[in-house]
Amino acid sequence: MKRRAFLGALGLSPLLKGLPPLLKGLPPLKITDLKAVNADGYIFYRLYTNGGVTGVGEPSPSNGPLNVTFAEMLKPLILGMDAFRIEEIWQKLYIGLYKTRGQSASMAISGVDIALHDVVGKALGVPVSTLLGGAVRDRIRMYASYTSRDRAPVEQAKLCAADIQNGFTAAKIKIAARHGFDADPKYPDHDMVREVRSAIGPKPEFMVDANSGYSVPHAIQIGRMLEKYDVFWFEEPVPFTDYAATARVNAALDLFIAGGEQDHTRYDFQKMIEAGAVDMVQADVTKAGGVSECKKIAAMADAAGLGYTPHDTSHNIGLAACLHMVASTPVCRYSQEFIREPGGKRILKTPLVPEKGFITLPTGPGLGIEIDPRFGE
C-alpha cells in the first residue's frame, strides 16, 4: 500500500497538508544553479533548486575572487543532483577537484556544503542543527577575538577589559610577528600579555595567537612566559605545516596548544591528531570542507580526547553555520570565536551579535538567517 493510501486508511490524510515536501513524496530537490554573489567585495554562494528553495553558503573570504572561479568549476558537477544527497555531492566535488585539491578548493566546497544544509533545512522546515543531530546547547558562549597587531599593549588591554565588563568571559589577542620566524613583533610579547591579563583580571579565559610566528625553541620559551599569566591556549606557535614541530612545543608546555585554521578535510586533521600536535582543534566551517566535514573532524577530536572550538572570522553566513555546528556537537564545549575588530562586511538582515557574551542559536528553517535585500534573492 502506498504511503498516502496507508495514511488515508488511518485517517491521517489531513496531516499531510502540514508536512514538508519531501515527506509528501514529491520529487527530489534538483539543483538548478549555483551563483557567486559579490556583495561589495564579500562573496557568498546561492544554490537554487527546482522546488523554489534557495540556500546560501560562505566560502572563506581568504579565497577572494577565486571563489567566483570555483563556483563556475563546481556548478557543472552538481547541476541536476538531488540537494538532499549532501554526502554524495561532497564526495563528487572533492573527487572532481582532485587536480586543484588543497585548502582553496576546500573553501569553495565549504560554501556549497553550507548552502546544501540551508536548502535541506528550509525544505524540511527545521534548523540545520536538527539535521546535524539536534542541539545540545541553545546559547553559545563566545570569546572576544582581536586580529590586529598594531595596537599598543595598554590600548589592547582596555578593549579586552571593556569586553569582559560587557559579558564576555574570554578574550584572544595576537602576539609574535605573523610568519616572522622569530622576528620581533611591533610590541614586546611580554608587555602585551602582562597588560591584558592585568586589565581583565584572573578569572576570564585568556588566549593568544602567534600565527606560526616562532621556531620551536622560541615558542617553548614564550609558552613558559604565557603559563605564568595563566594563558588558556597558545595558538599556532610554530609554522602550521609542521605537525612534528608543533607536537614538540605541545610536549614541553602545560597550557593548551591550538591549531587547525589553515588545515582542511579529515585527512589533514588525522595527521595533526596522530602527531599529538594540538589539544584544541580549530577546523573552520568555511575552510575545512563545510559543516559535513567539520562534524567528522569534531568526532575525530572527541575520540582522541581533544577539544574543538572552530576558527571563525565571519559575521555572516559562516558564523551562522558555525553556530549550528557548535550547538549540535557536544565536544564544542569551550567558548567560540567572535571577531571584535571594527568594520568588515555585514550582509545579514538581522546581524548575529553576542548579548552578554552569548549568541542564541537561530531557530528558523535552514541556517535561520536572511540576507539583506540589497544583495538580491
Phi, psi of 366 (to 5 degrees): 65, -135
pTM strictly above 0.85: yes
Q: Cβ neighbours of residue 275 under 8 Å, at least 6 residues apart?
A: 243, 244, 246, 247
pLDDT for the residue 24: 56
Stronger pLDDT, 7 or 333, i.e. the higher one: 333
- Lookup: cell for 166: 560587557
Catalytic residues: 311
Mean of per-residue pLDDT scores for the chain: 93
* pLDDT exceeds cutoff 80 at 11: no
Segment 119-174, tens digit of pLDDT: 999 999 999 999 999 999 999 999 999 999 999 999 999 999 999 999 999 999 99
Decide: 60 and 262 in contact? Cβ < 8 Å. Answer: no
* pLDDT exceeds cutoff 80 at 257: yes
Number of residues that make up the chain: 377
What span, in angstroms and rounded, lies between the C-alpha atoms of 342 and 221? 32
3-state DSSP percent of the chain in helix, strand and coil, to 5: 40, 15, 40
What span, in angstroms and rounded, lies between the C-alpha atoms of 293 and 377? 27
Nearest Cα neighbor of 312 from 303, 293, 325 is 325
What span, in angstroms and rounded, lies between the C-alpha atoms of 162 and 370? 30
Segment 245-256, tens digit of pLDDT: 999 999 999 999
Residues 98-105, mean pLDDT to the nearest whole number: 89
Segment 36-92, tens digit of pLDDT: 999 988 999 999 999 999 999 999 999 999 999 999 999 999 999 999 999 999 999
Residues 327-348, mean pLDDT to the nearest whole number: 93
Q: For residue 130, give the H/E element and its range.
A: helix 128-131
